[in-house]
Structure 1
């Protein structure tokens, strides 16, 4: 691969000012603008790289409807992974869960039901009764569980989301944004891939003799779609968040405030088609491979590997990998001691001078102070302008 890497220099070892060295690159065709949608808000995110490929009013705060159950599922998955909960655990249905209105899995008060069945009821049928029963079992009360939901929102940096109940039914002070839903969805894929595949891809579910179909109709319409969640609010409109994978690239599309259930499906599918038609994900540096090796002065080693944390993923215009430009901001003089994991600078990945992604760069090893001879010799060389 033609990397054309240009590493930037710090102007004067002690000044603290960065300067980027120019990189010559022929201008390439640009990607067409994303489709025009009627939804109040939307986001198209590339999962592996975290890049936003398209967005409109991404931080607009809207009532979530049943999309709030994505957070309920996230918390339940976390309890399972931590070993505090098992899908086989049997739960006694409470009267509060039984009395819930809206979409249901049709629980009966006093029945014994497994966590596995409740998760299918929560995700496949969007059951309000399933959400309440899961919340009560984990937290004792739904009010306490809502506190957990908002604590998790803070941990995940969902700055435009706040939850007031576990079902997403209209409530004062409850809202989400498309950008936050995409972040939450990406966190679920990253932390719980097996549980996500097990529960979010189910097209139908039968409980208590009642067969229901997943409200995410994209599961039938597009084989690339592996899961999603829908919601609706009388004032805000119709919502859909879905993930799709094709040719090694996974995307997350979130549409909030569409005019109808049909519109949310069409608009979410349009975003997915746009992503796969014009973009592709690639690993530029695998995990553990240095981006560069830098000279170290006055140390017990004369070089250190400069690395990213994990693989360097980037989503770029399809067919244009060789047109990417890489620039790294790193100090001119790297002086020991240096500690493994210490941040040294950043890598900038550009296409047509448009920034695609910033990647923090770190020291791949610890370099301690050198002996007296090494330090004096390097001091002299630095004074002479090495």
Structure 2
């Protein structure tokens, strides 16, 4: 196990950041812990940070193998007609899904977003249905989408700073390859149409990439209704933060707000990590074809402290029953590692069976008896 301290233990909490945006949240991505927030569950128009969910649904489909990065995406007349931020795709133009993702993640292309939506779901509306279903599955109760790019100014197209942070967290933790796209500052793509080929430079809308050294992404958005929005991700000293600001009054202020939040987060945070790589004891199995089951931890444990606690005081206790009863499947939870700080439980990690053990039958008992007899 190890400790990552970003500062000497403070005598008092750092002053809250000065943020102009009326709605914001700062979250640590690996634990999901909220460091600070204001009006974070207030429903607001999201503008192009809508595309965070668009990208999440795209990567869900890549993850299932239904589409691939080298799949060819054709632009429809409807996709070409999108206003706002665009990469000027022509009707009938074919690009790989990889290039389309760059157009969305880097240049916030509305035309690229609709082209991807039609490719994956047949129509933008069907894709939006997938977006809303994904939001529902994630428990995002303050989110509803009307389009896939954020152009809608309908009162029925909304989300909240907290929901944006949660969908951002889902995207970067489940599909960390998205950061390969959102870190791009500028990159050329090639338009190939009936008129010939031409080069077009994608330029990131996320100016934080040049303003804040530890920026890794993620997405900007602005309309007259939404004002200026940003979901910003950063990584420093193995701590990954997500800062979401909504309705900042200006383009400049949203980036200043995000930097203030990120600086605050890194100033107060200390991360405790336990890789959980030590060997666990076996556990007796009652009534099984094997008498013992090997055990493993479900994964590492991470705890973010923002109170200046002494993380050397964290204690870990292995909690296991005397035995388990067959059948036991590999991956079944049979116990847990419990972590406490100053006597208070701060989290746990499940302990799993590393093997499948079937329930013993009549013949299995005969084999056991015969084995005992032969060893006499």
Q: TM-score, with normalisation over the residues of structure 1?
A: 0.76
> Which residue of 289, 299, 305 maps to 1:316?
305
Q: Distance in 2 between matches of 1:368 and 1:293?
A: 20
How many residues align structurally? 341
Q: Does 1:164 align with 2:146?
A: yes
Cα deviation digits, residues 53-94 of structure 1 (max 9, x gap)? 111222221111101111111121222233222223333221
Structure 1 contact 65–232 (Cα < 8 Å) conserved:
yes
Indicate the residue corresponding to 1:191 in structure 2: 174
Q: Distance in 2 between matches of 1:296 and 1:31?
A: 48
Shift of 1:237: 2.3
Shift of 1:294: 11
Q: Does 1:281 align with 2:263?
A: no
CA separation of 1:199/1:128 partners in 2, compared to 1, >3 Å: closer, same or farther? same
Indicate the residue corresponding to 2:369 in structure 1: none
Shift of 1:265: 0.3
> Which residue of 217, 231, 235 maps to 1:227?
217
Structure 2 unaligned spans of 5+: 4-8, 190-197, 360-376
CA separation of 1:321/1:296 partners in 2, compared to 1, >3 Å: closer, same or farther? farther
Structure 2 contact 234–240 (Cα < 8 Å) conserved:
yes
Shift of 1:116: 2.1
Alignment of 1:177-216 (within 5 A): 177-194=160-177, 196-207=178-189, 208-216=198-206
Alignment of 1:99-114 (within 5 A): 99-114=81-96
CA separation of 1:347/1:237 partners in 2, compared to 1, >3 Å: closer, same or farther? farther
Alignment of 1:1-386 (within 5 A): 29-169=11-151, 170-194=153-177, 196-207=178-189, 208-284=198-274, 286-289=275-278, 309-317=298-306, 321-326=310-315, 336-337=324-325, 341-342=332-333, 344=335, 347-350=338-341, 357-359=346-348, 361-362=350-351
Structure 1 unaligned spans of 5+: 4-26, 370-386
Shift of 1:311: 0.4
After TM superposition, the structure 1 stretch with the greater mean CA deviation from structure 2, 74-83 or 166-175, is: 74-83
- Indicate the SS of the match to 1:193: coil
Structure 2 contact 334–353 (Cα < 8 Å) conserved:
no
Structure 1 contact 135–141 (Cα < 8 Å) conserved:
yes
Shift of 1:211: 2.8
